[in-house]
Amino acid sequence: MALFDKLASAALITVAAAVAVAASDDKDEDGSLSYRLTGNDAAYMPAILRDFPDFQLEPAKAAVTDYGATKLEEEHKGEKIKRFVSHGMVVLGYQRRQAGASILFQTMLVMEVENGNEVEKHEALFETEYGCGFDLGNASRCGFCGAPIRNMGVRRCEYCGSGWAPEWKVVRIHNMSFQ
């Protein structure tokens, strides 16, 4: 039965990975382009939660959104940025490795910039890798006894038994388009 579960899970992830982003040239009422992000969070979350039972999607999405907004601010220094608005975020993929894991998000952010008496809206479509693991520079030793931790899936030190939690962070961000 375990083999069937693995095959069914792999098939579900493969189907979900084929889901793409749909973009339209239509304008919304506020004048911004009308992008439709499509993904399948529900297809990836069972695998993520199986590997990392304490993982929470909403704080991860907030961290990715904040990181994207910070990068946009850096790219647009000197401009009067009024605010950032998230126009959606989806999970595009999940990969588990012995030394860690990565979740691929796609995010649409709208940056409102003051230009005289008007507010201009610029959209940025990002792809962001959010991960945890030793291969991403995280600690690979027990914080209590210093013994090596060889497997991200193990929540307790093999030597002293103390618990630990994986540290998630933004690994890379790619600005796919900006208008």
Give 148 or 136, the one with higher predicted confidence: 148
Q: What is the DSSP letter of 21?
A: -
86/63 Cα distance (integer angstroms)? 12
Average pLDDT in the 130-149 region?
A: 71
Q: Quote the pTM value.
A: 0.69
Q: What would you measure as the largest C-alpha separation in the chain, in angstroms?
A: 65
- Interhelix angle 2-17/41-51, rounded to 10 degrees, is 140
Q: What is the pLDDT of residues 27-59, one digit of tens each?
A: 555 555 555 677 788 899 999 998 888 889 999
Q: Is the pLDDT of residue 172 over 60?
A: yes
120/158 Cα distance (integer angstroms)? 56
Q: Is the pLDDT of residue 102 over 70?
A: yes
